[in-house]
A = this chain, B = another copy of it.
């Protein structure tokens, strides 16, 4: 494994306290923060590098030279406030905080770890002023802060950083309108206009047109500058000081991947044959070493010119990999293949995407069946209502996004579609607690509750690639209802084996481990894997646990249920969801109708409170949902004792 190095905080003090010009110091500090952002992502194994690099000059400038307030402390009500609405750029932000001594090293080097920092900004981290990761909320939130400052007669400006792709979200335009009408002039929006969203150019995904003119027609004061030029940027801020009757926006022209030549747009896009590779995910060892070396050399060259000592780097401990095995199986990949296979034959299928084609494994679909593919940009509400219009005209739309976004952002639109009694399929990727690195905005642990009350909606989640194919086929070719397909995005921790005579049967699950002392219902490869570990552990203690894969999350076949519980007294329901509104709801509805049910012991396991972020194993452990914890709970709660309150 390659060594990972960071620049310690003392080095930042050395450079910042040198006698170099402010521009030179800012430039050096920003590049040093680039090193640290790069290394923290390399150590974490994931994180958003491209937009950290494009925005880091601006963040450095703000924190070193512009923001007023006592060390940016939250308890100073007159402070300037800065936060990022897009949130992707947070590794760069953490690097700046660390460089100023505002974020302890122990926390900084644990990006996306439970005791470190979250993959998107979280209010619990020092200096972070707002949660983000769900796009398009920043200007609205800044409005609330600006109103509060005016209402409380406090000083301080509100700076909010937006991505350009993010401007495809409609909420921004609500906020542009109301900020002006509510005379909230104390807001400065900064657009990190790096021209690339996820892996394609903004102009190719969903072109924004003339951005400056757009803001102007909403009544905002606008300026445009080079977001990597400190003098330019500061000049705009000084010009803004004179504008007191309007909210203000800087369109900062930046370069995605700035500072690492092979990550810079547009070169990187060409190298990737039209796809930008460095939006998220950690660089491989070679790329990391090459990037580090380039940055280091640039900084050292500068230092040499200025007669300063070369940079000192310190090696940090690499990530301890857990011993847990991970399979090669990706359910999301199986999904993409199954969908493509069917859609080749069914020309009425139209696939809709909201800038997550690669993650939702429909990039191949886009390339092979372009006429059946609609790229909608980051505009989930528009995508869902557009699907409604397609369905009204007799087509079968299949809508894609992450479960957390689709189930909530577009909830009213989905319901409106349901009211029209058409058929639409909602493919909800990234469902469940894991991966937990990106944090609460991305972890989808409410989606069953958000879809469950929709009329004519079947919710299904496959446990493996085979079942994924069955479910895709069922949803497209068999049922007349709307469907929500709930899909895990990461690799399956193990391939869940289904019996050789397996077939998908409405409302019925499959026993994947026989047992007679207790029974556990679970869904998806993550929770089934943990259930099987629990079964293995319990077997050693002479407790045999029946494990049931239940792919139907809001449909239960009553007679199957009666048969599968048999005489087993202890019934456990394991949710990859919060306790409210998951499988429990539907199972209980049916269980209480079984006369033989009475006298049983039912226990509900699932996510309590806000989901933790971190590596899979630590997050499962934190929530008591790893195999060990489940086994312990089953041991404690079984035997008909239910003294719990």
A contact set with B: CB distance below 8 Å: 77, 122-123, 129-132, 134, 136-137, 140-149, 151-152, 168-175, 177-178, 180-182, 206-210, 213-214, 217-219, 350, 371, 374, 376-377, 379, 381-395, 397, 404-405, 408-409, 411-413, 415-416, 418-421, 440-441, 445-446, 449-450, 452-455, 554, 558, 577-581, 584-586, 588-589, 592-593, 595, 598-600, 602, 604, 609-610, 642, 644-645
A562 to chain B: closest residue by CB = B645
Q: How far is the CA of A420 from the CA of B440 in the complex (A)?
A: 10
Known: A141-B389, A146-B389. 11 other contacts (CB 8 A): A129-B392, A130-B420, A140-B386, A145-B390, A145-B393, A152-B394, A170-B173, A171-B385, A180-B209, A449-B452, A598-B598
Q: How far is the CA of A209 from the CA of B180 in the complex (A)?
A: 10
A558 to chain B: closest residue by CB = B645
Query: Which listed residue, B144, B392, B440, B446, touches A389 by the CB 8 Å rule?
Result: B144
Q: How far is the CA of A636 from the CA of B558 in the complex (A)?
A: 21
A644 shortest CB reach to chain B, Å: 6
Q: How far is the CA of A182 from the CA of B377 in the complex (A)?
A: 11
Question: Are A416 and B217 interface neighbours, CB within 8 A?
Answer: no
Please give, as numbers and ranges, the residues of chain B lying within 8 Å of A181 by CB-CB distance. 206-207, 377
A454 to chain B: closest residue by CB = B446
Question: Are A388 and B141 interface neighbours, CB within 8 A?
Answer: yes
Question: Are A147 and B593 interface neighbours, CB within 8 A?
Answer: no
Question: Are A174 and B182 interface neighbours, CB within 8 A?
Answer: no
Please give, as numbers and ranges, the residues of chain B lying within 8 Å of A390 by CB-CB distance. 144-145, 147-148
Given contacts A420-B130, A558-B645, contact A584 B589 (CB under 8 A): yes
Q: How far is the CA of A385 from the CA of B177 in the complex (A)?
A: 14
Query: Which listed residue, B209, B408, B593, B599, touches A644 by the CB 8 Å rule?
Result: B593
Q: How far is the CA of A589 from the CA of B588 in the complex (A)?
A: 9
Q: How far is the CA of A143 from the CA of B148 in the complex (A)?
A: 39
Question: Are B218 and A214 interface neighbours, CB within 8 A?
Answer: yes
A-B complex: 6 closest residue pairs judged by Cβ atoms: A144-B389, A170-B170, A148-B393, A140-B385, A174-B382, A174-B379
Given contacts A453-B446, A454-B446, contact A392 B645 (CB under 8 A): no
Question: Are B131 and A416 interface neighbours, CB within 8 A?
Answer: yes
Question: Are B446 and A144 interface neighbours, CB within 8 A?
Answer: no
Please give, as numbers and ranges, the residues of chain B lying within 8 Å of A420 by CB-CB distance. 123, 130-131
Please give, as numbers and ranges, the residues of chain B lying within 8 Å of A131 by CB-CB distance. 416, 419-420
Q: How far is the CA of A385 from the CA of B143 in the complex (A)?
A: 9
Cβ contacts A to B, 16 pairs, < 8 Å? A137-B388, A140-B383, A140-B384, A144-B387, A151-B371, A152-B393, A152-B394, A170-B381, A177-B379, A217-B217, A419-B610, A445-B453, A449-B453, A452-B581, A453-B581, A584-B589
Question: Are A397 and B441 interface neighbours, CB within 8 A?
Answer: no
A607 shortest CB reach to chain B, Å: 10
Question: Are B581 and A588 interface neighbours, CB within 8 A?
Answer: no
Question: Are A209 and B214 interface neighbours, CB within 8 A?
Answer: no
Given contacts A453-B581, A580-B586, contact A143 B382 (CB under 8 A): yes
Q: How far is the CA of A600 from the CA of B593 in the complex (A)?
A: 11
Please give, as numbers and ranges, the residues of chain B lying within 8 Å of A206 by CB-CB distance. 177-178, 181
Please give, as numbers and ranges, the residues of chain B lying within 8 Å of A379 by CB-CB distance. 174-175, 177-178
A123 to chain B: closest residue by CB = B420
A124 to chain B: closest residue by CB = B421
Query: Which listed residue, B178, B180, B604, touches A589 by the CB 8 Å rule?
Result: B604
Q: How far is the CA of A602 from the CA of B588 in the complex (A)?
A: 10
Q: How far is the CA of A577 from the CA of B452 in the complex (A)?
A: 12
Please give, as numbers and ranges, the residues of chain B lying within 8 Å of A455 by CB-CB distance. 578, 609-610
Please give, as numbers and ranges, the residues of chain B lying within 8 Å of A586 by CB-CB distance. 580
A595 shortest CB reach to chain B, Å: 6
A614 shortest CB reach to chain B, Å: 16
Query: Which listed residue, B145, B413, B599, touches A137 by the CB 8 Å rule?
Result: B413
Question: Are A419 and B440 interface neighbours, CB within 8 A?
Answer: yes
A600 to chain B: closest residue by CB = B598
A622 shortest CB reach to chain B, Å: 15
A602 to chain B: closest residue by CB = B592
A125 shortest CB reach to chain B, Å: 12
Please give, as numbers and ranges, the residues of chain B lying within 8 Å of A588 by CB-CB distance. 584-585, 588, 592
A585 shortest CB reach to chain B, Å: 5
Question: Are A386 and B599 interface neighbours, CB within 8 A?
Answer: no
A572 shortest CB reach to chain B, Å: 12
Please give, as numbers and ranges, the residues of chain B lying within 8 Å of A172 by CB-CB distance. 170, 173
Question: Are A393 and B645 interface neighbours, CB within 8 A?
Answer: no
Most chain B CB within a 10 A radius of its CB, from A374, A404, A599: A374
Q: How far is the CA of A424 from the CA of B269 in the complex (A)?
A: 44
Question: Are A177 and B171 interface neighbours, CB within 8 A?
Answer: no
Question: Are B593 and A642 interface neighbours, CB within 8 A?
Answer: yes
Q: How far is the CA of A638 from the CA of B363 in the complex (A)?
A: 56
Q: How far is the CA of A389 from the CA of B139 in the complex (A)?
A: 10
A144 to chain B: closest residue by CB = B389
Most chain B CB within a 10 A radius of its CB, from A170, A182, A376: A170
Given contacts A123-B421, A385-B144, A580-B453, contact A177 B169 (CB under 8 A): no
Q: How far is the CA of A466 from the CA of B581 in the complex (A)?
A: 31
